């Protein structure tokens, strides 16, 4: 028997068939094509799933459940998506809509939490009891696993790591507060900082890399300019790492997880992000003299984490 995992994103809907050892058997994806009604989106998920099963000669009777990760606040017990900005969802009974279309049970969770769950099951946190995942994408998401359980909070909204304030009165965040980690340590924030710095220093390598068009600057250019020792890019990166380190040190000091896992698009920078980050976090750890401390590592599952984690929601 298999589970189906769906990773519902703003750009693509990805689906996969996952076995009970969390191994991805096959996957497929289609564009999300927003804006779109919730009913049409549910139809799209059904069609994608049907086609994937057909293409891989898997029968519906071999599936015993479907899990879906959604970028929003998911209230599984009420069957509601309480809020999903990308989709314009405001208390939409989306889980019920899916349930009407499929002959097996449906579970749903926030997408970042589903991806964290996958890393815990078979990725960077495999074999440990506690893990915090920090996902550095367009925003900053995450998931908290304590004693083998994904921590949901009293209202399913726990784990919003990106909305921890690291600079009181700082940059305005999409959530309405100022100075959130997301406003300083997301991919979007890094690009914003790089554009500001390049605008002020047009003769720097960072300024030259965009050929005078600040909108062309992306995260990759920043890492490249840092590699080439550009002082402007280095200052941008140092500030980015400092804010990220503040947030991560807060998480470690409160929760002391065995593993702190860094994922999302920016984690593709590998050691050039991980090594200075570890260096910056270490002095801020309250228990730094303890023999056992949290290990900061990179996520291992890449884009498949969303599918594997959603399919693995059945273990919660």
Which residues contact Zn ion (rule: CB under 5 A)? 163, 173, 175, 177, 180
Which DSSP category does 173 fall into?
P
For Zn ion, the closer CB: 133 or 308: 133
DSSP 3-state of 313:
helix
Q: How far is the CB of 105 from Zn ion (least distance, A)?
A: 34
Q: How far is the CB of 121 from Zn ion (least distance, A)?
A: 28
Closest CA to 260 of 142, 175, 173: 142
For Zn ion, the closer CB: 43 or 167: 167
> How distant, in Å, are the alpha carbons of 41, 141, 202, 215 from that of 294?
40, 19, 41, 38
Cα–Cα distance measured from residue 83 to residue 71, given in angstroms and rounded to the nearest whole number = 9
DSSP 45-96: HHHHHHHHHHHTT--GGGEEEEEEEESSEEETTTTEEEEEGGGTEEEE-HHH
Q: How far is the CB of 83 from Zn ion (least distance, A)?
A: 14
> How distant, in Å, are the alpha carbons of 72, 264, 310 from that of 49?
22, 25, 14
Closest CA to 50 of 6, 96, 111: 6
For Zn ion, the closer CB: 36 or 177: 177
For Zn ion, the closer CB: 111 or 304: 111
Closest CA to 261 of 117, 110, 87: 117
Q: How far is the CB of 86 from Zn ion (least distance, A)?
A: 16
Q: How far is the CB of 155 from Zn ion (least distance, A)?
A: 17
For Zn ion, the closer CB: 8 or 173: 173
Q: How far is the CB of 164 from Zn ion (least distance, A)?
A: 8
For Zn ion, the closer CB: 52 or 173: 173
């Amino acid at each position: 028997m298999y589970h189906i995992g769906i990773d519902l994103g703003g750009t693509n809907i990805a689906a996969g068939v996952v076995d009970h050892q969390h191994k991805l058997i096959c996957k497929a994806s289609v564009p999300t094509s927003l804006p779109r009604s919730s009913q049409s989106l549910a139809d799209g998920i059904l069609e994608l799933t049907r086609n994937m099963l057909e293409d891989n000669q898997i029968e519906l009777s071999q599936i015993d459940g479907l899990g879906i990760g959604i970028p929003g606040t998911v209230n599984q017990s009420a069957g509601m998506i309480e809020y999903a900005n990308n989709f314009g969802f405001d208390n939409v009974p989306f889980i019920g809509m899916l349930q009407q279309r499929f002959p097996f049970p449906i579970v749903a969770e926030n997408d970042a939490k589903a991806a964290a769950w996958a890393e815990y099951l078979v990725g960077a946190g495999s074999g440990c009891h506690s893990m915090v995942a920090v996902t550095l994408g367009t925003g900053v998401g995450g998931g908290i696993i304590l004693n083998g359980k994904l921590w949901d909070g009293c209202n399913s909204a726990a784990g919003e790591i990106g909305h921890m304030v690291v600079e009181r009165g700082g940059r305005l965040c999409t959530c309405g507060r100022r100075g959130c980690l997301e406003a300083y340590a997301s991919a979007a924030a890094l690009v914003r900082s790089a554009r500001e710095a390049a605008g002020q220093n047009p003769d720097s390598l960072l300024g030259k890399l965009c050929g005078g068009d600040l909108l062309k600057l992306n995260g990759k250019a920043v890492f490249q300019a840092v590699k080439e020792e550009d002082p402007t890019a280095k200052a941008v990166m140092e500030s980015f790492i400092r804010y990220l380190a503040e947030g991560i040190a807060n998480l470690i000091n409160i929760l002391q997880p065995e593993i702190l896992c860094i994922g999302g698009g920016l984690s593709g920078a590998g050691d050039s992000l991980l090594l200075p980050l570890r260096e910056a976090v270490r002095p801020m750890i309250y228990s730094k003299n303890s023999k056992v401390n949290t290990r900061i590592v990179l996520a291992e599952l890449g884009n498949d984490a969303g599918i594997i984690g959603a399919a693995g929601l059945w273990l919660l």
